Amino acid sequence: MVATLLRLRFLVLRNSLRRSTWQLIAVIIGAVYGLGVLGVAVLGLVALSFAPQELAATVIVLAGSAVVLGWIVVPLIAAGIDQTLDPARLAQFPLPMPKLLVGLTLAGVLGVPGVITTIASLATVASWIRYPAAAAAAVVCAALAVLTCVVGSRMVAALSVSLQSQRRFREISSILIFIPLILLGPIIIGVSQSVRNSADALPQVARALGWTPLGAAWSVPADLAAGDVGAAALKFVIALATLALLVLLWRRSLAAALVSPHAAASKRVARGKIGLFGVFPATPAGAVAARCLTYWRRDPRYARQLIVVPLIPVLLAFYSNNMHSLTLLTLAGPLVAFLLSLATLADISYDGTAFAAHLADGVRGRDDRLGRVVALAVIAVPIVLALTLITVAIAGAWHELPLLLGLAFGALLSGFGLTSVSSARIIIPVPAAGDNPFKSAPGAGFTTALSSFATWGILILLVLPEIVLTVVGFVTGSALIGWIGLAVGLVLGTGIAIAGIRIGGHQLDCSGPQLLSRLKTLRGA
C-alpha cells in the first residue's frame, strides 16, 4: 500500500509534466538549480573535514538548523507545495493511519527537495570522516534530521489545514505571512551586521542550537568528535523525542483534517444591497469597474498586490537610512506606481472561466478594458499621490515634487495602457479564487516570471522619456525641467493609456473565444 502511494505520486508528476512543455522546462531548471546548490553544499561539507573540529561543528549545526527551520516554515507560505498526495483526497480510501503516515513521509523524502536534503545530510558523514565514531553516528543522525524535516513540514501543513478550514482566516493569514519574507532583506542585513560585530558569538549560538530540536540531530556527531559522549547521547534523545513528538502531532492533526472538510464561512448582506454596482454608472464599463473593485476587496489574490504599498516605503526608508540620503525615499511614489500599474497584467487569468460571462453577454472589448483600468485607478491613484506627497514632505524636497509626480503618474498611466493590452493576451496559470494566493502550479512560477519581466521591461521603455527627464532634473536641479517632466508624464501617459485600451479592446473582440478556450485548458493545471 505504501508502494502504491509512492507510485501514485510519481505517476501524477509524470503525467503533469507530459501535459505541458513549460512545466517540464521549469522542473528541469529547478533541478539544475537544485543540483548546483547541492554540489556546492557537498563540496563545502567535504572541505569541512580538513577544518578544525570546532569550525565544522559550528557550520554544520547552524546550516542544519536553518534547513530544518526552512522545511517547517515553507508549508505555511505555500500550502500548495505538493498537493499530489493531498490527504483530503485520500480520505475516502480505507488506509490505516500508520501506512498513510509512512507513505506520505516517503513521498516527501523522494521529492526533489527531499532528495537534495538527504544527499546533503549524508555528506556530513564526509565532514566527520576523520572521527570514525562521529562519522558512523552522522549516518543515523542524517536520516533522523531528514525525517524531522519531512515530518515537520507535513505536520505544519496538516495543522494549518485544520486551522485554515475557515475561508476568511485562510485568506488573511496567507497574506500576512508574506510580509516578513519581503522584509527578509533588511532583516538579513540587520542580523549579519550584528553577526559581523560579534563573529565570536557564532560558536555559542551553534552550541545553544545544538540543544534545541532544530539542531540536536546535527550536533550529535560534533559532540562525539569532540569526545563528549554524554552530551551526544542526550542530544540524540532530544532529536528522537522531537521526531516522535512531530509524528504524534502530525497523526493527530491529520486525523482531524480527514474528518472535518472545509467549512463554509457564510458572509451575507441584506437584500437590495448591491454595493458598488449602485455607485458606478450603469454602463457595461461601469459594471466591470464595480465588479473589479468588489474583487479587490473580497479576493485575496488582488489584495495581495497591495502588500507593496507599505513595504516599498519601509524598504526605501531602511536603505536611505543606511546611505544617509533621503533621495531614495522620495522614489517610493514612482516605484509603487510602477508596481501597482502592472498588478493586473494577467487580469483575465484571475477571472478564470467566469470570463465567459463577458463573452456571452457581448461586452465590447473596450468597455472591458476601461472598466478594469478604472477600478485599478480608483485604488492606485490616491495611494501614489499620497505616497509621493508624504515622502517628499519627509525629505523636505518640495522642489522635486513636479518631477516625481510626473514620473509616478507617467508610469501609472503607461502601465494602465500596457496591462490593457497584456491582459488581453497573456493567460498564465494562477491560483483559483479561494486557494492560497501564493500557491502555484508547477511551472507556473516560471511562465509567470517570464511574462512579468517582459512586461516590466516594456513599461520601462514606455516610461523612458520620464525617467530621462527625472535624471536630468535631479542632476541640474532645474525647476523648468521639473514642470516639463510633469507635463510629459501626464500627456504621454494618458496617450499610452488610451491607446492601450483601444488596442487591447480590439484584441479582446477578436480573440475572446480563444482566451476562454485557453482558460478552460488551464483549469486544474
Q: Which of 98, 132, 434, 477 binds another protein (CB under 8 A)?
A: 434
Residues facing 3 on adjacent strands: none
Q: Under rule CB under 8 A, which residues in 351-370 are in contact with another protein? A: 351-354, 356-364
Closest to another protein by CB, 200 or 361: 361
CB of 490 to another protein, least distance (A): 31
**What is the number of residues in the chain?**
525
Sites for another protein among residues 479-518 (CB under 8 A) = 513-514, 516-517
**Contact characters 364-403, another protein, x per CB under 8 A:** x---------------------------------------
* Residues contacting another protein: total by CB under 8 A: 46
Closest CA to 367 of 488, 283, 466: 283
What secondary structure does DSSP assign to 195-243, as a single string?
Answer: HHHTGGGHHHHHHHHTTSTTTHHHHHHHHHHHT-HHHHHHHHHHHHHHH
Q: Is 274 in the site for another protein (CB under 8 A)?
A: yes
C-alpha cell at position 521: 485548458
Burial of 64 (0-12, 13-18, 19+ CB in 10 A): buried
Q: What's 166's DSSP letter? A: B
Q: For residues 202 and 433, which CB has a smaller minimum distance to another protein in the complex?
A: 433
Residue 302 C-beta: closest distance to another protein, Å:
10
Comparing CA positions, the residue from 291, 408, 405, 392 lying closest to residue 339 is: 408
- Chain centroid to CA 501: how far? 30
Half-sphere exposure of 482 (CA within 13 A, CB side): 15
d(CA 335, CA 408): 7
Closer of 7 and 298 to another protein (Cβ) = 298
User: At its nearest, how many Å lie between another protein and the CB of residue 300?
Assistant: 10
Distance (Å, whole) CA 501 – CA 499: 6
Smallest gap, in angstroms, from Cβ of residue 511 to another protein? 9
Which residues pair with residue 166 across a beta bridge? 263
List the x/- string, 286-325, binding to another protein by CB under 8 A: xxx-xx--xx--xx--------------------------
Task: Report, in Å, the least distance between residue 163 CB and another protein.
Answer: 20
Nearer to another protein, 128 or 355 (CB): 355
Residues numbered 175 to 234 that lie near another protein (CB under 8 A) are none
∠ CA 293-506-497, rounded to 5°? 55
Give the residues lining the site for another protein (CB under 8 A): 264-275, 277-278, 282-284, 286-288, 290-291, 294-295, 298-299, 351-354, 356-364, 433-434, 513-514, 516-517, 520
